[in-house]
A = this chain, B = another copy of it.
Amino acid sequence: MSTTLTAAPPTDLLGLYGEMVLIRRFEEAAERQYKAARIGGYCHLSSGQEAATVGTVAAMEEEDLLVTGYRCHGFALARGVTPEAVMAELFGRRDGCAHGRGGSMHLLDVSRGYYGGWGIVGGQLPIATGMALSLVRRGAPQAVLCELGDGGVNTGAWHESLNLAAVWNLPIVFLVINNQYGMGTSVDRASAEPDLFKRAASYRMAGERVDGDDVESVIESATRLLAAAREERKPAVLEAMTYRHRGHSVADAGLAYRTKEEIEERKLADPLERARALLNKRGVEDERIAAADAAAEAAVERAVAFAESDPAPDVDRLAAGMYAPGSGDQFERMALGSPLGERELVFAGGLGE
């Protein structure tokens, strides 16, 4: 499922629109499936953030690396992970991109340079920084794109990671998806400097803000900053201004901390609407747009059908993946006197096989 390389992402507006609408339809389906109890855990949707997602990933080269937080369905899809592999993961099934072990927050696809899918706010930043360090050590002409949210800029990990990236001149772009809120906390209540991109200056790093609902502006900025990272080893911060249409997660109505009016007003900037309008303006016929809509619908339906029929992971392999192959021998002598169930579940559950 996740072994073949994707074709280079489309850069024409209609192609980009197709990706954005795929994400929107996918998130809508995910919400339905969550409410139908086929998806569990925390489920964070990115509806409204499609342009920032698709635009930044479109600016990546095939060999570049991607690291994100937990609101990652859109990033996985934009990077070319199949809707089947993503939906199967949300269903917790065997052929999910993490084989049903990670779920909504921990998508990945190493074959596409997508290294997750992390759930601790800020925790992915040092890791992405280390990946950029590794690229430099190996003389690889690539860059890392590391996504975080507006709430993540107040973690210690942000500061330590940006300082390391700058003091070591690492090829990394920190993408701040500023959707105005961290759960129920608006940016101005959380950040003493609400112009988040300005914090790049503390590291003598380039920082800029872009209209995150205009996919072409996003591509322009991201392409420029990623190129500088690759070619001049200049790290940067890119703040994409956007809005989360739904609640923080499917469990949050998203109304306790913002008004219906605000949501309606922000929806006027819906990146899909804006792309559609631009397509019309450029004379792309409604049929072709409708065809993209239909294709997205169909792809999501296929994904749900696939996930439904995909088997659950094998319970007898509970410990699989935890340790590298060969580790089984190392643990053999630990089974004696273990707590009840450990022998059956863990030591006989594929530990280090």
Inter-chain CA distance A47–B202, complex, in Å, is 30
Inter-chain CA distance A166–B190, complex, in Å, is 10
Are A160 and B166 in contact, CB atoms less than 8 angstroms apart? Answer: no
Are A156 and B157 in contact, CB atoms less than 8 angstroms apart? Answer: yes
Collect the chain B residues with CB atoms within 8 Å of residue A158's CB.
156, 159
Picked from B155, B163, B201, the residue with its CB within 8 Å of the CB of A160 is: B155
Inter-chain CA distance A281–B79, complex, in Å, is 72
Picked from B155, B166, B201, B203, the residue with its CB within 8 Å of the CB of A156 is: B155
User: How many copies are assembled?
Assistant: 2
Inter-chain CA distance A160–B191, complex, in Å, is 10
Collect the chain B residues with CB atoms within 8 Å of residue A155's CB.
156, 159-160
A57 to chain B, nearest CB (A): 27
A237 to chain B, nearest CB (A): 11
**Within A311-351, which residues are at the interface with B (CB < 8 Å)?**
none
Are B202 and A198 in contact, CB atoms less than 8 angstroms apart? Answer: yes
Q: Does A167 contact B (CB under 8 A)?
A: yes
Are B167 and A156 in contact, CB atoms less than 8 angstroms apart? Answer: no
A29 to chain B, nearest CB (A): 38
Are B154 and A166 in contact, CB atoms less than 8 angstroms apart? Answer: no
Q: Does A286 contact B (CB under 8 A)?
A: no
Inter-chain CA distance A205–B191, complex, in Å, is 12
Q: Does A209 contact B (CB under 8 A)?
A: no
Inter-chain CA distance A163–B150, complex, in Å, is 14
A178 to chain B, nearest CB (A): 16
Inter-chain CA distance A204–B163, complex, in Å, is 19
With CB as the reference atom, state the residue of chain B lying closest to A201: B201
Picked from B163, B193, B198, B201, the residue with its CB within 8 Å of the CB of A191 is: B163
Q: Does A199 contact B (CB under 8 A)?
A: yes
Which of the listed residues A156, A158, A162, A203 has the most CB atoms from chain B within 10 Å of its own CB?
A: A156
Collect the chain B residues with CB atoms within 8 Å of residue A202's CB.
192-193, 198-199, 201-202
Interface residues as binary, A86-104 with B (CB distance below 8 Å gives 1, 0 otherwise): 0000000000000000000
Are B189 and A193 in contact, CB atoms less than 8 angstroms apart? Answer: no
With CB as the reference atom, state the residue of chain B lying closest to A126: B156
**Within A200-234, which residues are at the interface with B (CB < 8 Å)?**
201-205
With CB as the reference atom, state the residue of chain B lying closest to A160: B156
The 5 closest A-B pairs by CB, nearest first: A156-B156, A166-B192, A159-B159, A192-B203, A167-B192
Between A and B, 25 residue pairs with Cβ closer than 8 Å are A154-B159, A154-B160, A154-B163, A155-B156, A155-B159, A156-B157, A156-B158, A158-B159, A159-B159, A159-B160, A162-B192, A166-B192, A166-B193, A167-B189, A167-B192, A192-B202, A192-B204, A192-B205, A193-B201, A193-B203, A193-B204, A198-B201, A198-B202, A199-B202, A201-B202
